[in-house]
Amino acid sequence: MYRHICVPVDNSEHANRAIDLAVLLGQTFGARLTGVHVYAGRLHDSRFKQMEYTLPERYRQEAEL
């Protein structure tokens, strides 16, 4: 029935329950699990700028996935 299950991962109580359920479903149906965590990067812009000089050059270029 399910071949691939996408699971939210943000350490909240709701996400933790979703992970438990996804594992159960994955075991039941032999499905593959993928955890996904999304955050608003712009909220952390100032902190990223403070740390940027410590990154290797190849990681300093902005990119969108």
List, for residues 1-42, the tens digit of each pLDDT value. 889 999 999 888 999 999 999 999 999 999 999 999 877 777
The pLDDT of residue 1 is 82
What residue ranges do the domains of the chain occupy?
Answer: 4-59
The pLDDT of residue 65 is 62
Q: Cα–Cα distance between 54 and 25 in angstroms, integer? A: 42
Bridge partners of residue 20, in order along the sequence: none
Q: Quick check: pTM over 0.85?
A: no
